[in-house]
Amino acid sequence: MIPTLFPRKSLAALAVLSLACLSAQAQVEITDPPAGHNFGKVPLNATFSTQYFSVFNRSSAPLQLGTLISSGAALATCAGIGCPVVAQGDFLIPAGSDGCSNAVLQPNQGCSTLVAFTPTAPGARISQFIVQSRAGGALATYPLHGTGISTPLDCVLDWAEKSFPQLLTTPTGTATVSPFQLRCYANGTMCLGADTAVPTFDQPSVYFYQTQPTPSVQRLGYLSTFAQAAQCQP
């Protein structure tokens, strides 16, 4: 006979607790925004891109929520240039805008919390909005997506792609490879960008990098000159 490690009453209580946790996870719903929401393209460090997230208790009993957070701990992404970057710090709940953390929701009652996207680097940025239980588990999650725009570099790169469509093919997203912010083309055989990732003594310049026939970097001129030619807004 195999010895019982826990009394039967303890096992029964544990089973009930587990079912209660699963029930809570299944009955907390993020109803707004609709699936697929994207914060869009936002200039670096801008604070205007915000969205309210609505959370509802769909169970038949009162439920107390835990803390609502932005977290990238459970996310995975590729590692190449232009791949989305896990950036939980770019998606934050502004002070005084959290109407859900630790709230007690009656059945079919909801609450709302504001989330702001403030990109700190160019390119695709991702995180996850998590409604936590009091114990710290995830009751509900929602993927967060947004794109940081480097001004005026992204405008110049858009203009260059329209001006030279046969050369600048299959563009990646804008990425940071210090000291450059750049996009790569033609399956990574060439890149175009500017030394805007770190402060410089001189004003930023535009550079062209190519791997064939031999790796080389060529300075094309000041970024401000190209921004004027592309009629980019300051």
Q: Where are the domains of the chain?
A: 28-149, 153-229
- List the structure tokens of 64: 């107390």
- The CATH fold assigned to 28-149 is Immunoglobulin-like (2.60.40)
Cis before 213 (ω within 30): yes
CA distance 56 to 59: 9
**What distance lies between CA 13 and its chain's CA centroid?**
40
- List the structure tokens of 195: 């030394």
CA torsion angle 66 68 74 76 (round to 10):
170
Report which residue type is found at 143.
P
- The predicted structure's pLDDT at residue 212: 84
Q: Which pLDDT tens digit goes with each residue over 91-106?
A: 999 999 999 999 999 9
CA distance 184 to 208: 10
CB atoms < 10 A from the CB of 14, how many?
A: 11
What backbone phi and psi angles, to 5 degrees, belong to 220?
A: -100, -20
- The predicted structure's pLDDT at residue 8: 46
Report which residue type is found at 144.
L
Residue with tokens 């001004």: 151
User: What stretches in the chain show pLDDT beneath 70?
Assistant: 1-26
